[in-house]
């Protein structure tokens, strides 16, 4: 069994797929993609990636998925409904990696999780980072900023309304392109040495006012910013037609942004991917047609979460 095997869990998701593609481009000798739905990994399998099934609620699959693995990326799970469940999933995975002699674990965290009390799931990342430190393994906690792609889940409604209601004040956030975060993860997996906790952020840490200016320039239409409190923000998002499931996340993001916990640097990601990360201006220009198309009533009503 090849001693250089790299495992990516959550490989059927958007980030996991991109990480595997970057590893393929780097010609790693053995890449293992794992998912609870391995049928969704057929495209990677056809490219020469080994696939495995892992369900983080199935201890048997968690116990075996790390067999023969030297380095692993544990993509944090999407289990947010049951308090404590996500922490248990991550703990089980880290313990299994230790048992199988994995040399280096990378894990997808978030910026400043210890201080980010406005984000309900920050405690899950704090627990995972604590478990990694205690594991005695080399580890890299990839503190991914919020993805630029997440903005597609509610900006079309904002653009259609013409007003961006915000409770973020002058707080800043460094949105990162998902592809850049994936490239950083792939680069980290290239070696056995851990990086500890590193910020994975976009090159612009911006206020909502600044983001709205970039958005308006890309779309050729003005988006006015109105500063409001948290409760007004939630009401206005609902009025604008933002999906009910998205509203608490937007409100929590803005509260954390106002507190200064998303204002991080892109120094680490720039060093890892050896190029300038994608700017928010570039992202908006690339997706301008999509954003304008999604402002139609029928498109907005069917808009999925990103």
pLDDT at residue 295, as a whole number: 73
Average pLDDT of the segment spanning 105-117: 98
Question: For residues 294 and 20, what is the distance between their CA atoms, to the nearest angstrom?
Answer: 30
Average pLDDT of the segment spanning 79-108: 95
Average pLDDT of the segment spanning 52-72: 96
The residues that bridge with 35 in the sheet, in sequence order, are: 53
* Percent of the chain topping pLDDT 70: 95
Kindly tell me if the per-residue pLDDT of 47 is higher than 70.
yes
Q: Are the beta carbons of 306 and 245 closer than 8 angstroms?
A: no
How long is the chain? 306
Kindly tell me if the per-residue pLDDT of 263 is higher than 70.
yes
Average pLDDT of the segment spanning 153-162: 94
Lowest mean pLDDT among 77-86, 123-132, 135-144, 262-271: 77-86
pLDDT at residue 3, as a whole number: 62
Q: Are the beta carbons of 76 and 108 closer than 8 angstroms?
A: yes
* CA distance between the termini of the chain: 37
Give pTM, 2 decimals: 0.94
Q: How many CB atoms lie within 10 A of CB 239?
A: 11
Q: Are the beta carbons of 181 and 125 closer than 8 angstroms?
A: no
In the three-class reduction of DSSP (H, G, I as helix; E, B as strand; rest coil), residue 51 is classed as strand
Question: For residues 158 and 240, what is the distance between their CA atoms, to the nearest angstrom?
Answer: 7
Kindly tell me if the per-residue pLDDT of 236 is higher than 70.
yes
Kindly tell me if the per-residue pLDDT of 181 is higher than 90.
yes
Q: How many CB atoms lie within 10 A of CB 43?
A: 13
Kindly tell me if the per-residue pLDDT of 186 is higher than 90.
yes
Identify the band that residue 293 occupies on the pLDDT scale cut at 50, 70 and 90: confident
Kindly tell me if the per-residue pLDDT of 4 is higher than 60.
yes
pLDDT at residue 83, as a whole number: 87
Q: What domains can you pick out in the chain, each with its CATH number?
A: 6-144+178-200 (3.40.50.720), 150-172+203-264+278-301 (3.90.25.10)
pLDDT at residue 303, as a whole number: 39
Average pLDDT of the segment spanning 122-143: 97
Residue with tokens 């020469």: 48
Average pLDDT of the segment spanning 218-241: 96
pLDDT at residue 1, as a whole number: 38
228 Cβ contact partners less than 8 Å away, ≥ 6 residues apart = 165, 166, 167, 236
pLDDT at residue 80, as a whole number: 87
Question: For residues 38 and 61, what is the distance between their CA atoms, to the nearest angstrom?
Answer: 12
pLDDT at residue 88, as a whole number: 96
Q: What's the mean per-residue pLDDT of the chain?
A: 94
Kindly tell me if the per-residue pLDDT of 142 is higher than 80.
yes
């Amino acid at each position: 069994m090849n001693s250089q095997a790299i495992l990516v869990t959550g490989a059927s998701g958007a980030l996991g797929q991109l990480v595997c593609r970057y590893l393929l481009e780097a010609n790693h000798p053995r890449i293992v993609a794992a998912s609870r739905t391995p049928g969704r990994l057929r495209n990677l399998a056809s490219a020469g990636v080994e696939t495995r099934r892992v369900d983080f609620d199935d201890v048997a699959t968690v116990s075996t998925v790390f067999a023969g693995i030297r380095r692993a990326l544990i993509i944090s799970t999407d289990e947010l409904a049951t308090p404590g469940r996500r922490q248990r999933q991550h703990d089980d995975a880290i313990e299994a990696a230790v048992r199988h002699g994995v040399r280096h674990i990378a894990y997808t965290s978030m910026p400043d999780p210890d201080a980010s009390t406005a984000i309900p799931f920050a405690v899950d990342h704090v627990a995972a980072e604590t478990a990694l430190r205690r594991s005695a393994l080399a580890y890299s906690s990839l503190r991914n900023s919020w993805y630029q792609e997440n903005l597609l889940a509610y900006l079309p409604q904002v653009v259609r309304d013409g007003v961006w209601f915000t409770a973020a004040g002058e707080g800043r956030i460094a949105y990162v392109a998902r592809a850049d975060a994936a490239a950083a993860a792939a680069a980290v997996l290239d070696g056995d040495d851990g990086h500890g906790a590193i910020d994975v952020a976009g090159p612009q840490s911006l206020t909502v006012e600044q983001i709205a200016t970039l958005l308006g320039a890309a779309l050729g239409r003005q988006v006015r910013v109105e500063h409001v409190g948290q409760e007004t923000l939630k009401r206005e998002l609902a009025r604008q037609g933002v999906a009910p499931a998205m509203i608490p996340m937007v409100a929590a993001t803005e509260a954390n942004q106002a507190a200064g916990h998303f204002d991080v640097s892109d120094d680490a990601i720039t060093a890892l991917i050896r190029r300038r990360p994608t700017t928010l201006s570039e992202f908006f220009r690339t997706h301008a047609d999509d954003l304008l198309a999604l402002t139609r009533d029928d498109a907005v009503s069917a808009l999925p979460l990103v």
